[in-house]
Every structure is written in structure tokens, then in C-alpha cells.
Structure 1
């Protein structure tokens, strides 16, 4: 189903972090941006669709009034808002928001806690006509989720709300990626104990449901057509109905810890990647009439002798995907045959 393409070389290897790969497709310019975190550096690559041209940029974690910083970066992710795209970098010291090409930093938010985040993540969705809403969850022990109002342009970004339902470190956060306006749930968050919180956005965020964990980390989570897709340290993938918490399916997908999940929203393809060196492609089917969700296995790829730490589709149909691995100085790409 998929075959391997020429890899993209990066300046540094990938750190062993959950979801350590972010991809942004720039259709008007026929470019794809990739980011990979290494210690206190974000490696960013701009690749042309014909595979002939590449440009590299490196971004370091920054602190106000400090020339150099050794603060470890925990996450770098592209956030596609209704009126602008941002690259968001979260580190031990704070949050940096850049224009999508990494050229200009538009906002800095310092963390006012002495604790070190174990993981951080960022996602996105619209909130009201005047503002877009960018959600940043910081994986500190309090499990806080910071909600920022982001204007359509400029740097007048403000912290509007703090969600404090989780009692353990946040590991991942995801928004509804199908684009459906009928879905009640907008946001799902996961923590180190495997607990999932399902939210609805508004003037204030409303907690719709809390799905208990099994004392096993939920390392990656997605939300698609009202279905929560969660990957765990046990190698299992679980599919829950977001609003009720009903378990629709449980799959023993990998032999070791799952590090990354991704969904192609237009096709319903699901990508899973784990420490067992396997990347697997699945297909999700949601039947609203019967309120059922099914998952079917489609494809395997083995990345030999590699601890995979990131995997992302490169487009909304799932025609291509990319993979990163711990201590690997390249981004491996696959496209459909």
C-alpha cells in the first residue's frame, strides 16, 4: 500500500519524546514544513513537493533577557487556525509562538512554576468570530491546560482560561479534526495516568466527560467524528465515544509503548507508531445510524532497529506519512503505491 521515498536529512537527531514530529502542508507554495525536537533545538525543514529543494532552520529555546538558554524543548507543533498558522514551541521555561515559517517570534509566555514539565503539547480550534483559540497544555504535575486567545494577526495574544481537571501530567491534547460542526465535543486531553477529559469550547470550557485510566500512560490521543482514539504504554489503542465514554473497540496494536497517533481526517486513516519499530495504518469507520465505530488494519511498515518517536500524515487524505526515530538524523517518508 505504501512504499518508501527518499529520506529528508536533518541537522540533529530526534529526542525520545512523544509525538516528536509536526507537519504543515503549504498548498499555495507547494511546500511541506517538518519540525523535529533535539534537546534545546527545533530542527525545521522546508521541502518542495517535487523533492528537489530543501531549506533548513534551527530554533532554540529562549528566555527573556538571556542570551543563550539550555532549557529543554518538550514539544514543537504547527497550529492551523482559521485565519493564521503558528509554530508553537514549549520548553521547561515557557511557551514561544512563531509565524509558521519560524522567522518571527510573536509571543512568549513564561511558566511561573519551578517544576519541570514532563511533556507539553499544543492544539487548535476556533472560539468566536473575533478571536481564534489556541490551546496549550503544559505537562506539569498539576495537569493544567492553558487557553489562549489569538488574534487573526499581530502579537496581542492573551491567556484567557486555565483548565485544572487533571491531577497528573498532561501527555497529549487534541481537537476535533473532522471539521464537523455537529460534534458536541471539541477537545480531549490525556494524562500520565491514562485519564481522558472531554471538553466543549465556549465562553468558558465545559467538561463533558472524564474517562478513567488504568494507571498506564496515554501517550497520544486524537478526536475524530466524536470518537476518542487513544494510544497507551501497553501498546493498545482504544476507541471511545467522546460524550458517553462508551468503549467501542480495543486493539492490541503494538508490542511496546505507543509514541504517536495521527488521523487523516478526510479518509479516516489512522497512523500508529511505537517502540517496537512498527508503523501501522488502520481505517476507522463511524456509522452514526447505529452509533458504532469499527477499526480495520491495512498496512505495516517496519523501521528496522529504530525506536520510533514521531509519525504524521503529510496530507488530509493519508496519501503520504513521515516518521522520526530516537537518535535518527533523518525524516523517513512513505507514499501510497
Structure 2
């Protein structure tokens, strides 16, 4: 179903972090931006759709009043809002927001670090654009920072801090299919595997809390009112967001899942794990019976590679890209 394309070389290898791949499709310019985190650097590649032209940029992790930062970057993700696209980078020191091409940093938010060192590390991780003007970022305390983003300029403000999780946030996802009022439009996951389902707005409302099983939920997605969650057990669970009813449990991988992605237009689900496998599934929702069915469509083995990032390159799931720990390339696959 998918075949391998020519790989895109990157300046540094990928760190072993969850969801370590960012993809943004720039249709008018026939470009795709990719980001991969390596230690305290974000490697950014702008690639033409024909695969012939590339340009590279590296973004350093920033710290106030420090010339060179050694702060480790935890994640880089593109946030697509109706009025603008931003690249958000999280680290042990704070949160940086850039224009989507990485050219200008428009905002910096420093994390509160305790004056006396604690056993608990401080970091930010889990990034998602939510609704029309919010970017939500998770932190190691379990809090979620809600930033209000104007349609242009750098006047970004921290509008709310949502505190429900007790363990470090691992991932945040949001979705609103079409223009109808979504009941649930954001889901957050933590190191204990707990999921919180939210409705965004002037104030974020907690709609539901789905308990974990003391096994980290590393990656989460939201699609048409269904939560897809990937766990350290190698399992994928599909829940109804509002009620928390478990629809499906799939023993998808032999090792820790590092990344999930959903192609919103086709219902394809991508899962990637430490077992070197990337799998493509197809989700079918039947509203009349309120059921979800899953079909397994495709397997791709990236030999001897601990996969740490996998993302569809478009909304239909026509192509996807994969990164692996210690691998200095982005591997791409397209439908045959």
C-alpha cells in the first residue's frame, strides 16, 4: 500500500523522545516543513514536494540572559490556527514560539524553576493548537498552560493555567471536525496514563477523566469525538471522548508506542513504536450504533531502528514520515 521514497537527510540524529517529528504542509508554496529534536537543537528542513530541493535551519533552545543554552529540548510541534501557523518548542527552561518557518521568535515563556533543586525534573512537553486562538502546552507538574494567540504580532498572553493532572503531561491533542460546536475538543495525557477530556473556551471545562493503568500514555489523538491513546504496553485504546467508554483495545506493538497520528479526512491511524514497526489502521465510526471499527491496513518495518516520531504529511494519509533514534534522516513513504 505504501512504498519508500528517498529519505531527507538532517543535520543531527533524532533524540529518543515521544512524538519527535513535526510536519507542516505549505500548499501554496508546494513545501513541507519538518522538525526533529536533537539534544538542545531543533533541526528544521524545508522540502519541496518533488523531493529535489531542501533547505536546513537549526533552532537552539533559548534561556534568558544566557549566551549558549544547554537546556534539553523536549518537543517541537507546529500549531495551526485559523489565522496563523506557529512552531512551538518546549525545553527544560521554557516555551518558545516561532513563526512557522523558524525565522523569528515571537514569544518566550520561562518555566517556574524551584529555587532548591528537587528530584523532579522541570520541563514542558505536550503541545497543541486549540480552537481559534489558543495554544496549550503541558508541563512536568501536570499543569496545562493556555496561551491566547492574536492573529498577528507577538502579543501572546498566558490566559489560564489548568490543573487537573498530578503527573507530568506527555501529550495534548485537539480537534474540531468541521464548524459544528464540538462537545470535546481537547484531550491531555500524562505519565500515569490518565486522560483528561476538555471543552475549550474562555475557561476550559473538564468533561471527563479516563483513568490510567499506571502505564504511561505517550501519544494521544482526537478524531470525531473519539480519543486514540498509545501506551507503553504497546496497546492502542479508543475511547468515546465524552463518556470515556472503551470502544476498542488493540495489542498493536510489542514495545513502547512513541507516536500516533490521524489523517482527519480518511480516518487513517498511524502508530509507531520501539519495536521498529510503523502500522497503518483504518477507523470507521458508525454513529447510529455508536461503534468504532478498526482494520489493519499496512505494516512497515524500519529495521534495527527505535522509532521515535511518525506523522502523516497530509490530511488524507497519502504519505507519512518517520524518524528513529540516532538516525540522521527522515524516512518518507507514499501510497502506491
Conserved? CA contact 2:189–2:219, under 8 Å: yes
- Quote the offset at 1:265 in angstroms: 0.2
- Quote the offset at 1:331 in angstroms: 0.1
- Quote the offset at 1:183 in angstroms: 2.8
The unaligned stretches of length 5 or more in structure 1 are 120-134
SS in 1 for 2:95: strand
Aligned to 2:48: 48
Deviations 1:191-216 (A, max 9, x none): 00000000001110100000000000
- Quote the offset at 1:115 in angstroms: 9.3
Conserved? CA contact 2:239–2:247, under 8 Å: yes
- Quote the offset at 1:178 in angstroms: 3.3
The farther-off stretch of 18-27 and 106-115 is 106-115
Conserved? CA contact 2:229–2:238, under 8 Å: yes
Deviations 1:28-50 (A, max 9, x none): 00000000000000000000001
Conserved? CA contact 2:79–2:135, under 8 Å: no
Deviations 1:212-241 (A, max 9, x none): 000000000000000000000000000000
Conserved? CA contact 1:177–1:265, under 8 Å: no
Residues 75 and 177 (structure 1), Cα distance of their counterparts in 2 relative to 1, 3 Å cut: farther
Does residue 169 in structure 1 map to residue 168 in structure 2?
Answer: yes
The farther-off stretch of 62-71 and 248-257 is 62-71
Equivalent-residue separation in structure 1 for 2:105 and 2:10 (angstroms): 22
Residues 310 and 177 (structure 1), Cα distance of their counterparts in 2 relative to 1, 3 Å cut: farther
Equivalent-residue separation in structure 2 for 1:111 and 1:38 (angstroms): 21
- Quote the offset at 1:287 in angstroms: 1.1
The unaligned stretches of length 5 or more in structure 2 are 120-133
Residues 117 and 179 (structure 1), Cα distance of their counterparts in 2 relative to 1, 3 Å cut: farther
- Quote the offset at 1:283 in angstroms: 0.3
Conserved? CA contact 1:21–1:310, under 8 Å: yes
Equivalent-residue separation in structure 1 for 2:93 and 2:55 (angstroms): 28
Residues 260 and 91 (structure 1), Cα distance of their counterparts in 2 relative to 1, 3 Å cut: same
- Quote the offset at 1:138 in angstroms: 5.2
Conserved? CA contact 1:14–1:20, under 8 Å: yes
SS in 1 for 2:260: strand
Residues 282 and 209 (structure 1), Cα distance of their counterparts in 2 relative to 1, 3 Å cut: same
Conserved? CA contact 1:92–1:117, under 8 Å: no
Conserved? CA contact 1:31–1:47, under 8 Å: yes
Conserved? CA contact 1:257–1:276, under 8 Å: yes
Residues 251 and 22 (structure 1), Cα distance of their counterparts in 2 relative to 1, 3 Å cut: same
Aligned to 2:106: 106
Residues 26 and 115 (structure 1), Cα distance of their counterparts in 2 relative to 1, 3 Å cut: farther
TM-score, scaled relative to structure 2: 0.93
Residues 98 and 10 (structure 1), Cα distance of their counterparts in 2 relative to 1, 3 Å cut: same
- Quote the offset at 1:91 in angstroms: 0.6
SS in 1 for 2:78: strand
The farther-off stretch of 177-186 and 146-155 is 177-186
Deviations 1:8-55 (A, max 9, x none): 000000000000000000000000000000000000000000111000
Q: CA RMSD in A?
A: 1.9
- Quote the offset at 1:80 in angstroms: 0.5
Equivalent-residue separation in structure 2 for 1:155 and 1:218 (angstroms): 33
Aligned to 2:222: 223
Residues 118 and 164 (structure 1), Cα distance of their counterparts in 2 relative to 1, 3 Å cut: farther
Conserved? CA contact 1:141–1:167, under 8 Å: no
- Quote the offset at 1:180 in angstroms: 5.3
Residues 16 and 104 (structure 1), Cα distance of their counterparts in 2 relative to 1, 3 Å cut: same
Equivalent-residue separation in structure 1 for 2:164 and 2:264 (angstroms): 28
Deviations 1:135-172 (A, max 9, x none): 55555442000000000000000000001000001000
1:197-276 to structure 2, matched below 5 A, reads 197-276=196-275
